[in-house]
Structure 1
Amino acid sequence: MLAEVQQISEDAAKLAAAPLWSLSDEDIVDGLRTAYRLEQIAVALQARLVRQAEVRGHQTTPRWLRSHLLIDRRAARELGERAAALARHPEVEQALLDGRVDTGQATVITATIDTVATELAEAGDADADGRVAHDATTAMIELAERLPPLQLRRVGERILAHVAPQLAERTDELALTKQEERAHRARGFTLSAPVAGVVRLSGSLGVEDAALVRAALDPLCAPIVGDERNPAQRRADALAEVCRLALRTGELPATGGEPAQLSVTVAFDPLTQALGTATTDDGVRLSAESLRRLACDAKILPAVLGGAGQVLDLGRSQRLPTGTVRRALHLRDRGCAFPDCDRPPRWTDAHHVLAWTEGGATCLGNLVLLCRRHHRLIHHPTAGWQIRLGADGQPEFIPPPDVDPARVPRRNLYHLRL
């Protein structure tokens, strides 16, 4: 066996050094897939060799791996953990060998099944015969044929609702309660001291508080045509804008006996009518240009100014269905309905299945949520995708023949209501 592995290694090294200029585009793609498959098989072999080393008494596996493979501590630990996880879940290991999952998906599946077992035990529903774990493993291996690791992890959080609905509600409630308690204890938020004019923000929030933050930020940082800011810049601007809005409400708690406000002092030269460097009440220095921007807001009162100033224009309008219809779409589609797209409802448009210009109504039965990218795809004249509502009222997408010659209808498994 060792001789065969060494021969494969030598052959692979020769192939890696071979010229590639003669390959067609299709050959490049096929070669990349085959090389990736070879890498996954090698990982499975590594895991089996590590387990054999443990069987022979190498209890300090990470240290043993570091000394023999010359890898760092983290890589050694991950290799040992992967070997242990695949040993606990032989079905997943076989799927890795068969090419049905890759190492990232295998890691997600084993972690999910371990979590399911723990949650069942804590809920008093121990999986004595392993039936639930087996069904969950089988279901996730099948889902892995279409979902990458991140999406597979999200679906795995709801896997009990699919394979054991009679246990899911109580188990989920206990698991969510514990998760929320841990998140609440871990919450925190810090702002660094300014360095070269940059203040770094870092922190952690529980999902409830994070949902509130997203709800406040998203209306102010939705992508719009012609906006050259990247998503992180839009979120940063939205956070500052939410704070401006809060200061303008006059409902924040008083500080030092006065309403919450930003106080700025600035040197003023009456001879030149020029502003100097501004300083906030906590000692942060601002340029005169920054001061002028602050002065435009009626509820931020720089000490050098006494006027009310102008109200910042926040106008951003979108054409949307009525609030009731939009909320119903959110509940039904849970995000972009295109097969396996993970975009949430706040990043979607309401698309008419039968076009408005052709008499289509703005009602739940003729609308589907689509993100901007898939909205453009559906409207492209040569794309060939068709949309219909299934017998259960859920959106189905019929692919064009070049995607699936059989044109089997597809649904979004990421947002699937299990």
Structure 2
Amino acid sequence: MVEELAQADEAVAACVDVSAWPLPEHDLIAALDAAHRLEQRLAAVKLTLIREIDGRGTARAHGASSTAVWLRERLRLTVPAARRLVDLATALDTGHPGIRQALADGTITLDQARVIADTATTVHTTAGTQAADKAISLLTDWATQFDPTHLRRLGTRILDHVAPDLADTAAKAALDAETARAARDRHLTLSEQTDGRLRLTGTLDTETAGLLRAAIDPLTAPSGPDDSRSPGQRRHDALADLCRLTLRTSELPEHGGDPAQIVVTTTYDALTRQLSSGTLDTGLTLTPEAVRRLACDATILPAVLNGAGQVLDVGRQRRLITGPLRRALVLRDRGCAFPGCDRPPRWCDAHHIHHWADGGPTNLANAVLLCGHHHRHLHHSDWTIQLSGDGHPEFIPPAWLDPEQLPRRNHYHRRT
């Protein structure tokens, strides 16, 4: 298969630099149809490979928490997109081979295959295997005429065609299936932009959407007749107010022994002279005005860093060493340090590089931040950790994964 795909890759590469303008119109359209059909066939191959990788447990063997997370790192996908591929690969392999064949034939698209698989699963639950097979056949035929959105709409009444005696239950089954899909596809993505701002994208299920609206709507009203903010700006400010109100409660769970908090790093002289910006523990930058505003209602802790930004000493807010040490780890690691992991500091545990039970000291030089999954993985695998010359953690993979055992670093938390 690898050789065949390499040949296909060479054939496609040969087409990339070929000019399309000399083609007569019928050849131009034929080339577009061929490229589209090839794209769907490759999607079928890709799903087969993903299914095999998922079934073998390759992702966890490589240290990832799931196949979707492994695909994100390997193929540079978003986790929701990767998870949808894993789910579809499983569905086509375990229950709907006819859909996979249609995709392999290039007669349906990947999005249409997902719609047909979702509908077939609903029909199978409601009316059994025979009705599901009829639904697949019918929807595959309809796929030559309708896009995925229209196809999904038609699928809500598919039992009228394949099992009329059960059509009265179709609406409820469709609603239940849509609810399940909403739960599966729910996600919120925080994407850091180059100027330090965050872009929020995501899909909320119906219940969460209702909760958000109930919480945010009272805060979005104009503050007065002179309020010139747009509706979008008012919603932004309402979300900020909601976060401030939440952080002032005592109901949030602790993380790493400390209450939920915002951590801002700046210099004392710059803070008092009102000149310098500050850096959040997530790597984002705040203006001097924002730093001073937060400092009005904050505990200020001293931290001593060397010229390379390595933490040397951290002041104490309480007698326990865990608080200052954890803050030092957050300043250094900025999140789970395992390569490819993007978990933020508040989701991480402090791990002893040289185990405490074996005599390892509890200090910064012997500690690293790890999320729950990678903390467990490190205790049950052959990965090892070392601090590099600049004081940051590096991970040595086992020989079976990388015979050269080249050190790896996490690049998700870099601030520059």
Instruction: Give the TM-score of the pair, scaled to structure 1.
Output: 0.42
Max Rg structure: 1
Instruction: Give the TM-score of the pair, scaled to structure 2.
Output: 0.42
